[in-house]
Amino acid sequence: MSIQSELRKFNDKIRVDFKTKEELREKRDVLLSKLRESDELPLFEEFNQGSYAIYTGIEPELDGEYDIDVALRFIANKDDYDPLTLKNKIYEILKKHTDYGAEIKNSCVTVTYKKDGAAKFHIDLVTYLYADKDCKDSQLYIAKGKNKDSQEWEEADPIGLLEYINGNIIEGEPRNQFRRVVRYLKKWKNRKFSNTGHANPPSIGITLLAIDNFNYYEEDDLDALISVVSALINKFVYFGESQSGRELYKITLYLPTVLYFKFGIDIFDKMSIAQMTDFKEKLEKLKDDLIEVREEIDELEQYKKLNKIFGDDFEIPEAKRTAKKQFDYIPSSSTSGME
């Protein structure tokens, strides 16, 4: 056994399995059929987005829900509709589809499903329209807002974003390792941050930062993870001091300029300075803990430390199989970069 083999087992345990993906696909297809049968909506093309589409989805925490983001690219001009018009129609069509019904949110319409007496799945349906429906290369706009006062059309490039994420890491084991590293980070953050308000850093932000700072370490997920965490910490800049004297830090991340989104969207802008500072401090603690794992010479103790970081989904192998001193242990010196 080795840390690498146990990390791979951990990855296999936390990633969304095929059965769950199939169940989400089936629920998605039923919703899409209902929408297509309606005379209230123009024609549309759908595609998956979010973690489902970039293969970084993980099992939710005990009180969490599985989810899938589905983009509805309507063959219609955004100038012919108010942003809420089609969202309202989608809501009306689906509001009685499940026990929980549908809900209009700022960026989507959400349909929630019950399993074993509790909310277990939800599907986010995101509305996009064209600047010119007769030109497939024209600007797409996402329908934002929950009411007339907040509604707006916002420039978006969802397909470009998927291609950027899926295409920026070379195929093969480097891309597989990148996806594992993102899953490890998402598991860690879901354990460490509350979902109340905006305390939990957005996963898309972590994914994009990981893309820009990922180095491939052959058969060494631990060093790859430490490398990404170190780079994330370096993205924070000093902001000032609080009244109590606490040093405050800020992180800013704009969507890639090669994509066609509204200019100046900061992925972390909804987090407060205190929440950003908390994010930085927890990343620093994570880095220190991961380095302790790397430097620990007792294999069983390494696994215990990883269990403390990631929770019981990282299982500690039986002591009799792992309790041995690694006297010949030498920290990895794998070279970074794409291979």
| 66-77 vs 44-49, strand pairing mode | antiparallel
State the CATH architecture for 14-156: 2-Layer Sandwich (3.30)
According to the model, what pLDDT value does residue 321 have? Answer: 55
The answer to whether the CB of 56 falls within 8 A of the CB of 207 is yes
10 Å CB burial of residue 149 (0-12, 13-18, 19+) is exposed
Residue 146 identity = K
Query: Of the candidates 56, 55, 336, which has an alpha carbon nearest to the alpha carbon of residue 223?
Result: 336
According to the model, what pLDDT value does residue 204 have? Answer: 95
- Tens-level pLDDT at each residue, the chain (339 residues): 689 999 999 999 999 987 888 999 999 999 999 999 999 999 999 999 999 999 999 999 877 889 999 999 999 999 999 999 999 999 999 999 999 999 999 999 999 998 877 888 999 999 999 999 999 999 999 999 999 999 999 999 999 999 999 999 989 999 999 999 999 999 999 999 988 789 999 999 999 999 999 999 999 999 999 999 999 999 999 999 999 999 999 999 999 999 999 999 999 999 999 999 999 999 999 999 999 999 999 999 999 999 999 999 999 987 545 544 444 444 444 333 333
The answer to whether the CB of 260 falls within 8 A of the CB of 198 is no
Can you give the pTM of this predicted structure?
Answer: 0.90
CA distances to 138, 184, 207, 267 from 229, in Å: 37, 11, 12, 18
Q: Where are the domains of the chain?
A: 14-156, 163-295
CA dist., res. 105 & res. 115, Å (int):
22
According to the model, what pLDDT value does residue 334 have? Answer: 37
According to the model, what pLDDT value does residue 62 have? Answer: 79
According to the model, what pLDDT value does residue 114 have? Answer: 87
